[in-house]
Copies of this chain bind each other. A is one copy, B any other.
Amino acid sequence: MKITRLATTAPDFDARLQQLLHWSEDTDAGIEQAVAGILAEVRMQGDAAVLARTAQFDGVQAASVAELEISAAELKAAFDGLPTAQRQALQTAAERVRRYHQAQAQACCQGFEFTDDEGNRLGQQVTPLDRVGIYVPGGKAAYPSSVLMNAIPAQVAGVGEIIMVVPTPRGERNALVLAAAHLAGVHRVFTIGGAQAVGALAYGTATVPRVDKITGPGNAYVAAAKRRVFGQVGIDMIAGPSEILVLADGTVNPDWVAMDLFSQAEHDELAQSVLLCPDAAYIDAVAAAMERLLPEMPRAAVIRASLEGRGGLIHTRSMAEACAISNRIAPEHLEVSADQPRQWLPHLKHAGAIFLGAFASESLGDYCAGPNHVLPTSGTARFSSPLGVYDFVKRSSLIDISEQGAQVLGPVADTLAQGEGLQAHARSATLRLTM
């Protein structure tokens, strides 16, 4: 396997690193135009457009959008019908994800109020969104874990109604996906997808209710549609290819690290797996483990294409330098495969999720550790966060002014409003000067 090897001591390291990381989400004019057309159609024609596009793209014929809804009883039947091991694994995962997000809600989604010296009460109230839409991809990349990771934070937030859409190309339904919807408290499921599903959720149709926010991953059409309806509804991030960065000090079993790099690479050919390590011999050991383990992997072809196309083994001067490079990359998943992983934590500023220690494999986080697996990709961890309960609530400021407060604040507002040439603002403040 020919994986790019870099050393930070090389004079052209910066340029080569930049080249390795380069990924551009080029907007495709054809996709943009198609999506604009589909959205306009759904906005004008509602259900009829949804039906026509579902027939065209998914090969699913239905007389009405109501026929495309999956009942709660069918979701429960899918759950009940799972093999015991799958049912129990899904339940354990859901419980752990729920518990984590409950702790998150406690830490970050509380309102506040304080009273100042003038008796004004100032603060914020936090309320859940009324209704959200969750997009779940269908076909070959149908992930029940994504259903849990999107729906449970919404449920913990107290969202009134969770509407899931999932395309079923040629009518194929994924029992695990439906079972996960049952378990995660999804209220309604429609078997629609693509830009037409995003449009139906954003604008509402006679059958599909309009939502306040749409989350969940999708293909280029779904991403383009989400970007277009942003403002009309809220959206979560636009996801790029998945990435892992392993920061290794050389103390963790090389087979484990090799398999973790594979686990990212097996997603698709654009996925990126990078190892940063100050120990050249250890990098060789991981490379050897990869060569040895690759033939055993059912998805070896995808893994090889991903690693040869976008993977990297980077020899650094030190762990501290590796941390600095990690901050530049701002990876989606960051494994600190080190003996004392917490010593590096204060140096790590930007990452979607930080996995600490030999036993923290990314795959545990993907499925069942508890934290969300919807994470910022392509360096966007510089400014964005994992999907969380905070994405399903919003805040309203509370401004409760006392009579005394109005006397103190009025002249200040008057002066500043006059400075901005807004005299009605000034007058509104001075009318309340009663004392």
How far apart are A374's CB and chain B's nearest CB, in angstroms? 10
Cα separation A419 to B366 with both chains bound (whole Å): 13
> Does A308 lie at the interface of the complex (its beta carbon under 8 Å from any beta carbon of B)?
no
Residues 346-388 of A contacting B (Cβ, < 8 Å): 348-372, 375-376, 378, 380-386, 388
Complex Cα gap A89–B411 (Å): 8
Contacts of A393-435 to chain B: CB distance below 8 A:
394-403, 405-406, 409-413, 415-417, 419-420, 422-429, 431-432
How far, in angstroms, from A249 to B415 measured CA to CA in the complex?
30
- For residue A238, CB closer than 8 A to chain B, the reply is yes
B349, B386, B419: the one contacting A397 at CB < 8 Å is B386
* Segment from A13-21, A105-113, A274-282 that makes contact with B: A105-113
A172 part of interface (Cβ distance < 8 Å) = no
Would A396 and B112 count as touching, CB distance under 8 A? no
**B176–A368 touching, CB < 8 Å:** no
Judge whether A1 is part of the interface by a CB distance below 8 angstroms. Answer: no
Query: Is B359 a contact of A402 with CB atoms below 8 Å?
Result: yes
Cα–Cα distance between A370 and B362 once the two chains are bound (Å): 42
The answer to whether the Cβ of A122 comes within 8 Å of any Cβ in the partner chain is yes
Is the pair A368, B409 in contact by a Cβ cutoff of 8 Å?
yes
The one of B341, B363, B415 that contacts A417, using a Cβ cutoff of 8 Å: B363
Q: Which residue of B lies closest to A99 (CB)?
A: B116
Which B residues are CB-close (under 8 A) to A144?
A: 416, 419-420
Task: Give CA–CA (A301, B406) in the complex, Å.
Answer: 28
Bound Cα distance from A234 to B376, whole angstroms: 11
What separation, in Å, do the CA atoms of A429 and B364 have in the docked complex?
A: 7
Binary interface profile of A, 250-277, with partner B (CB < 8 Å = 1, else 0)?
0001011001101101110000000000
Q: Are A107 and B112 in contact (CB under 8 A)?
A: yes
Contact, CB under 8 Å: A354 / B396 = yes
13 additional contacts (CB under 8 A) given A125-B345, A371-B399: A89-B412, A90-B416, A256-B431, A259-B427, A297-B423, A298-B423, A299-B422, A353-B398, A358-B432, A361-B401, A363-B428, A376-B394, A382-B394
Can you sample 13 A-B contacts with CB below 8 Å? A86-B416, A106-B112, A107-B110, A108-B110, A176-B419, A212-B382, A256-B431, A361-B401, A363-B428, A364-B406, A364-B413, A369-B401, A386-B396
